[in-house]
A and B are shown apart, each in its own frame.
Chain A
């Protein structure tokens, strides 16, 4: 296997009772994450980006479940490939927090208010290693210094409510990286933080990624964060990948109308135009997707064919995929655009 993680045809079902068929919240997701890659997933709320990544960690719980025919293969530390979706619970626990770990959006709610920072960092060491108590403490201290927490020794003894949001997010990063994982999933790590703190955290994550050789999946709704940190980007819309390319292609050779709409509706710093560009309408709800392209109702370039059939994910340039009929039938349409 060439990639660190290969996701094939992933779908996630929402159970709605015995008599009604389940709703597919995400469908047909294919992603490849390379070693040491910074992979961005961008989309609006409810597009399925978070549950896609929770399924990698095996964190989906009832009424959500991974649909039939899905596959997520992961290259383990010992070089073997593992199918994560069929991994027994015990083995998944061995992997989770060790080889794959996760940072959550709200550090204030993700940490346990009843335990000190030290307890919470050491917890994942205690589970995955057989270090002595003092060695674990030493490791925790060193990790806190690496995430640039001042007064690290005192902070170890403090509780989460003593610290600010930015500091707690650093603690979260320390917990996630302490076992030197191969893959780090960061679910909106800076959304709850202020801009100046966001800048600190993003720079810290970029730095640590270099020194740890970890691949990162960065989930965000903010194209600015993507531009700042990622190499490869997948744009999600209504439970599907609509465009996937390198970050330069996404920003400079945008193919899908949704992506270009998103880019144009961002209030820009150089913005002289008084009227902002808007994508009309709202995101469709899962279970009420049309039979054709899911973006058709909001798209400027919508044609009859868009309403009839789902466009395939086609390659518009090497390494650049797009799910749109505009690009499906070759060069003439490309020129017309």
Chain B
């Protein structure tokens, strides 16, 4: 991987949430929501983050933007460490980094018209004349497929897919370089999902965007991502190009996850790897490898030592003792 076109470099990111108890509300423990996560995103690339609910993928996305303060690690955005910036410096940087939320029913203020919703980021981040703002609004509305008459309406007058278009327009109106898309199509129907995915891919081309695409839907992630990271219990267990991870999954968890996708066709034969039990609590993760109590290949060492992340093929990294040299 060449160094010059890396836009975002996340190094050993950790986010812990305190569990408070007792009369003094002292921290009695920590939820290890994100535990030592490292990955890079290049310019104009889509990095997909998959995992089951509660695995820390959304927290990772938000920690990168510092919407949740990370506990440790570095987030280098275009060379600057976001974690050390002051509030004001961070505010200026936010122009370049935006977030699209999962639920377009909750993320748009019901008392603002679409026009006002789109104008708000411009007022926050730029000093533009009303005429310039109007031009920007018209441009983005056209880009995401909102007509001029829609601009005077309120969010409740739109369907889920249309609202997600508005949310996307709001994120992209400041022309960011990096967008965290947190489950942007999960709340939508199948026929609408594909419209939004096509829109996101088209806008990426036009505006030269990089995406961190967070989703639990493995098919969607495969479709949109160049590279994929698989998370389990706050840890990144496998990263690699989409092709490598889906065709040749290395980590036992990735294998089980991929085998659990419902088949596309009733005649398809599929061997399913069954995982026993549920994901353990991130407040009290198992010792050694976090996956060892559900892993079909668990060995003695897995219970004692957390595995190191190794690069087995160029760009394909996995954290599992099975691949120890």
Contact = CB atoms under 8 A, between A and B. Distances in A.
A194 B219 contact: no
A248 B195 contact: no
A251 interface: yes
Interface in B254-276: 256-257, 259-268, 272, 274-275
Interface string B198-218: 100100000000000000111
A82 interface: no
B172 to A, nearest CB: 20
A310 interface: no
Interface in A249-288: 251-252, 261-262, 265-269, 271, 274-280, 282-283
A139 B195 CA distance: 50
Interface string B204-240: 0000000000001111101100000000000000000
Contacts of B217: 267
Contacts of A166: 278
B19 interface: no
Contact of B267 (A196, A248, A265, A271): A248
A222 B265 contact: no
A198 interface: yes
A303 interface: no
A227 to B, nearest CB: 5
A269 B262 contact: no
A292 B35 CA distance: 57
B322 interface: no
B190 interface: yes
A246 to B, nearest CB: 9
Given A164-B278, A274-B201, A265 B264 contact: no
Given A195-B52, A202-B262, A271-B222, A150 B277 contact: yes
Contact of A196 (B223, B264, B275): B275
B222 A227 contact: no
Contacts of A199: 259-260, 262, 272, 274
B194 A278 contact: yes
Contacts of A223: 190, 264
A196 B260 contact: yes
B198 A195 contact: no
A268 B264 contact: yes
B261 A197 contact: no
Contacts of B218: 195, 269
Contact of B223 (A195, A247, A252, A271): A271
Contacts of B220: 267
Contacts of B267: 248, 251-252
Contact of A44 (B189, B195, B264): B189
A194 B216 contact: yes
B261 A195 contact: yes
A268 B223 CA distance: 8
Interface string B126-170: 000000000000000000000000000000000101100000000
A247 B246 CA distance: 27
B248 interface: no
17 contacts: A195-B216, A195-B218, A196-B275, A198-B262, A199-B262, A199-B272, A224-B261, A225-B262, A227-B264, A248-B267, A261-B191, A265-B193, A268-B264, A275-B198, A278-B191, A279-B191, A282-B192
Interface of A: 44-45, 150, 164, 166-167, 194-200, 202-203, 221-225, 227-228, 247-248, 251-252, 261-262, 265-269, 271, 274-280, 282-283
Given A224-B263, A262-B190, 12 more contacts: A44-B190, A150-B277, A194-B216, A228-B262, A248-B266, A265-B190, A265-B191, A265-B194, A267-B194, A267-B220, A269-B264, A276-B194
